[in-house]
C-alpha cells in the first residue's frame, strides 16, 4: 500500500500531524529547488525514483515566484512544472506540498490569492495535498502588520475549497516561530514553518521551536539543509534527533545539482530522469537518503553475564577474561575547533516611501476666438452714362402766307411762331446698383480640450537592495599534539577450560554461523537471527574480530587481546565523538563533531 492509501487525509491534532485513524504521522522527504533554476528535475521520473530509492513519503514542490524567470514573469511555464510534480506525487500515492516559494509574498498577494484559489479548487479535495502560503519572509517585515493579515487572506481562499493542512511562513527566513505563536492565526489544521541549516543554526533556534510548541503551536520543518558553507552532519544529526523526538515533519533542501553548494542532493550534471548512482549523489545526498530510508546508526555494545568457553561458535562473549585498565602518558593528536570570525554581506530588499516628481499630461478646457474666411454679397452703385431721347417743344418762326382782308387781297408774307415737337438726344449720369461677392474674415468662439504638461510630487514605494553586514563564525579543524593519559588494557584469563557456552551467559544458545557472527539465537558480539538485529558491537571491527578468531581451535590470547582492545578503543572514540585522540573535554571544550557524528 502507498503512504496515502495507508494513512489517508492528514490533519493537525495538538502539536502533531495525525492520519485518518488519529495516529501521529511524520512526513519525511525532499524539497524541490527553485523551479525556474532546476526545471530539469521537475518531472514524474524523478519523483518516482525518489519514492522508490529514498523510500520517502513526501515532496515539497517549491515553485519559484519572484526572482527572474519565476511565476510572476512566466506563470504558465512555472505552473506547468508544479502541476507535473503534484500529479506525479498523487499518482505515486505520496504527500505533496504546494509551496508559493517567495521572499516577498505579501507584496504579491493578489497573484498568490488567484494561484491558491486555482490550486485549492483543483487539488484541495485530495488527501495527498498540503499548502505552504509563504516560503521565507525576510527580516524587515512585521508579523502582526504584514504576515498575519497575509496568511489570513490566503487561508480564507484555500478554505473555500479545502480543509487540508496549511503551513505558514514566519519572519526572518521562517525562524521566528515563537513570535508568530504569541499572536497566532485562528483556524484548524494550521501549522507554523521553521527552517534550519545545520552549520549556522544550533540550539538557540531549536529553543524557539520548543517555545512555540510550549505555547501550543504545531510546527513544520518544510526546509532544512545539512550545512551552509560546508557540511555539518553532527549538527544535522542533532536537529533530526530533535525533529524525530517531536515527530516534526520535514523536507530536505534540495533536489538540485549546483556545483559548490554543499546542501545540493546531486553532483553537477546528474541525470534529470532519476536513476542516480552513488557517484551522482553528493556526500549530503547519500547522508540524507540514509536518513529517509531509516538506516540504523551504529549499534551499542551489549553487556556480559557469564563465562563463555572457547571452542564454541559464540566466541569471547562473557567474563572469560578480565580487562585490567592502567593509564599511560602519551602524546596524541588532538582535534580541536578553531573558530574564526568573518564578515559577509547579506542582501535584503527594503521598500521605502520616497518623493518623486511625476510629469503628466492633463486635458484643460479652453475657449478661444477662431478666425475663418467667408464671402458676402454687397450692393454697390456705379456711375453710368446713359443716352436717352426726350421730346422737346420748339418754337420756330416760319414764314407763312395768309390772306389778309383788304380791300384788295394780296398775299402778305409774315413770320409766325410754329410749335413743333422734335426728339432730342441727351446724355446723363445715373447711379446703377450692382452685386459683388466680397471676402470677409469673421471670428467665432471655440471650446476645446488642450493637453497641458503638469508636474507634481508624490510618495512612491521604492524597493532597493541593501546589504547587511553579518558576523559569522567558521569552524576550522586543527590538529595539535597534546600529552594525555590514555588507557592501556591488559587481558587476564579467567577460564581454564575450553567448551560450549554455559546457559544464561551472553552468548546464548549456540546456533549456526560461527565466530562473532552467530546464527539463530546467538547473542554474542553480533546477535540476532542470521546475524541481524539485537545488541552488538560496531560493525567496523566485526571483520577484524571474525578474521582474528574464526577457525582457531585453541586459545590465542594475543589475538583475543588485540580484538578486545580494538573494540573498547572504538567504543571510547564513538562515545567521545573524537577521531583518534582521547582529548579531555573539560580541557579541550571545542570539538569538531561533524566528521565523526555519522
Task: Determine the Cα–Cα distance for residues 10 and 20; give it in Å rounded to an integer.
Answer: 6
Cα gap 309→327, rounded to integer Å: 29
The tally of CA atoms less than 13 A away on the side-chain side of residue 267 is 9
Taking the C-alpha atoms of residue 525 and residue 519, their distance in angstroms, rounded to an integer, is 12
- Contact between residue 4 and residue 123 where contact means Cβ atoms under 8 Å apart: no
* Dihedral sign (CA 291, 293, 294, 297): negative
Burial class (CB in 10 A: 0-12, 13-18, 19+), 149: middle
Question: What are the Cα distances from residue 238, in Å, to 53, 242, 295, 349, 598?
Answer: 25, 6, 16, 33, 11
Burial class, 228, CB count within 10 angstroms (exposed 0-12 / middle 13-18 / buried 19+): middle
Taking alpha carbons only, the member of 10, 488, 367, 397 closest to residue 220 is 10
Helix, strand, coil fractions of the chain, as percent rounded to 5: 25, 40, 35
CB 505 within 8 Å of CB 306: yes
Name the pairing type of β-strands 513-514 and 517-518.
Answer: antiparallel
Q: Name the residues annotated as catalytic.
A: 136, 223
Cβ-based neighbour number of residue 226 at 10 Å: 30
**Roughly how many angstroms between the first and final C-alpha of the chain, as a whole number?**
32
Task: Enter the C-alpha cell of residue 345.
Answer: 554581506
Q: What are the start-end ranges of the H helices in 228-362?
A: 233-245, 283-293
* Distance (Å) of CA 39 to CA 46, 85, 106: 11, 11, 25
- What value does the CA radius of gyration of the chain take, rounded to a whole number of Å? 54
**Is 518 within 8 Å of 525 (Cβ atoms)?**
no
User: Cell 599534539 belongs to which residue?
Assistant: 481
DSSP helix/strand/coil, 293: helix
Q: How far apart are CA 316 and CA 200, in angstroms?
A: 45
* CB-based contact 424:373 (threshold 8 Å): no
Q: What is the dihedral of CA 63, 69, 75, 79, to 10 degrees?
A: -30
Q: Minimal CA–CA distance to 433: which of 389, 376, 388, 377? A: 377
CB 505 within 8 A of CB 307: yes
Work out whether strand 11-13 and strand 16-18 pair parallel, antiparallel, or are unpaired. Answer: antiparallel
What are the distances in angstroms from CA 537 to CA 426, 508, 574? 161, 16, 12
Amino acid at each position: 500500500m502507498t503512504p496515502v492509501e495507508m494513512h489517508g487525509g492528514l490533519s493537525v491534532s495538538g502539536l502533531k500531524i495525525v492520519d485518518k485513524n488519529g495516529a501521529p504521522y511524520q512526513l519525511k522527504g525532499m524539497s524541490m529547488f527553485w523551479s525556474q533554476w532546476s526545471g530539469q528535475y521537475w518531472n514524474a521520473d524523478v519523483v518516482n525514483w525518489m519514492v522508490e530509492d529514498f523510500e520517502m513519503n513526501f515532496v515539497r514542490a517549491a515553485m519559484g515566484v519572484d526572482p527572474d524567470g519565476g511565476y510572476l514573469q512566466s506563470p504558465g511555464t512555472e505552473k506547468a512544472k508544479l502541476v507535473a510534480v503534484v500529479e506525479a506525487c498523487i499518482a505515486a500515492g505520496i504527500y505533496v506540498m504546494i509551496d508559493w516559494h517567495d521572499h516577498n509574498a505579501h507584496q504579491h498577494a493578489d497573484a498568490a490569492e488567484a494561484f491558491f484559489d486555482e490550486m485549492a479548487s483543483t487539488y484541495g479535495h485530495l488527501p495527498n495535498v498540503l499548502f505552504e502560503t509563504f516560503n521565507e519572509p525576510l527580516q524587515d517585515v512585521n508579523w502582526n502588520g504584514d504576515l498575519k493579515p497575509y496568511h489570513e487572506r490566503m487561508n480564507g481562499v484555500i478554505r473555500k475549497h479545502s480543509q487540508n493542512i496549511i503551513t505558514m511562513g514566519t519572519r526572518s527566513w521562517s525562524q521566528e516561530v515563537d513570535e508568530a505563536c504569541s499572536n497566532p492565526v485562528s483556524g484548524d489544521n494550521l501549522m507554523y514553518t521553521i527552517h534550519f541549516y545545520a552549520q549556522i543554526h544550533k540550539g538557540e533556534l531549536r529553543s524557539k521551536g520548543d517555545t512555540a510548541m510550549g505555547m501550543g503551536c504545531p510546527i513544520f520543518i518544510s526546509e532544512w539543509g545539512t550545512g551552509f558553507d560546508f557540511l555539518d552532519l553532527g549538527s544535522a544529526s542533532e536537529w533530526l534527533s530533535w525533529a524525530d523526538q517531536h515527530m516534526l515533519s520535514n523536507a530536505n533542501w534540495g533536489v538540485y545539482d549546483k556545483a559548490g553548494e554543499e546542501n545540493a542532493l546531486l553532483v553537477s550534471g546528474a541525470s534529470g530522469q532519476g536513476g542516480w548512482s552513488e557517484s551522482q549523489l553528493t556526500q549530503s545526498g547519500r547522508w540524507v537518503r540514509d536518513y529517509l530510508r531509516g538506516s540504523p546508526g551504529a549499534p551499542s555494545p551489549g553487556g556480559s553475564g557469564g563465562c563463555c568457553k572457547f571452542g564454541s561458535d559464540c566466541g569471547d562473549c562473557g567474563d572469560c577474561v578480565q580487562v585490567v585498565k592502567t593509564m599511560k602518558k602519551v602524546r596524541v593528536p588532538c582535534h580541536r575547533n578553531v573558530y574564526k570570525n568573518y564578515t559577509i554581506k547579506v542582501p535584503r530588499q527594503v521598500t521605502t516611501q520616497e518623493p518623486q516628481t511625476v510629469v503628466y499630461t492633463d486635458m484643460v478646457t479652453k475657449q478661444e476666438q477662431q478666425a475663418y474666411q467667408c464671402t458676402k454679397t454687397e450692393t454697390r452703385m456705379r456711375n453710368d452714362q446713359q443716352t436717352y431721347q426726350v421730346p422737346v417743344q420748339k418754337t420756330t418762326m416760319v414764314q407763312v402766307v395768309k390772306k389778309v382782308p383788304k380791300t384788295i387781297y394780296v398775299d402778305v408774307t409774315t413770320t409766325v411762331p410754329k410749335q413743333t415737337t422734335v426728339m432730342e438726344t441727351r446724355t446723363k449720369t445715373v447711379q446703377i446698383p450692382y452685386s459683388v461677392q466680397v471676402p470677409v474674415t469673421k471670428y467665432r468662439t471655440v471650446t476645446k480640450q488642450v493637453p497641458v504638461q503638469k508636474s507634481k510630487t508624490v510618495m512612491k514605494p521604492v524597493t532597493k537592495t541593501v546589504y547587511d553586514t553579518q558576523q559569522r563564525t567558521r569552524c576550522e579543524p586543527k590538529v595539535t599534539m597534546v600529552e594525555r593519559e590514555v588507557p592501556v588494557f591488559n587481558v587476564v584469563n579467567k577460564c581454564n577450560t575450553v567448551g560450549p557456552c554455559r546457559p544464561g551467559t551472553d552468548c546464548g544458545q549456540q546456533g549456526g554461523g560461527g565466530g562473532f557472527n552467530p546464527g539463530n539465537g546467538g547473542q554474542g558480539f553480533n546477535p540476532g537471527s542470521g546475524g541481524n538485529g539485537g545488541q552488538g558491537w560496531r560493525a567496523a571491527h566485526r571483520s577484524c574480530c571474525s578474521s582474528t578468531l574464526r577457525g582457531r581451535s585453541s586459545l590465542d590470547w594475543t589475538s583475543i587481546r588485540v580484538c578486545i582492545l580494538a573494540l573498547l578503543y572504538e567504543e571510547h572514540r564513538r562515545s567521545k565523538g573524537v577521531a583518534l585522540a582521547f582529548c579531555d573535554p573539560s580541557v579541550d571544550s571545542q570539538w569538531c563533531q561533524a566528521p565523526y557524528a555519522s
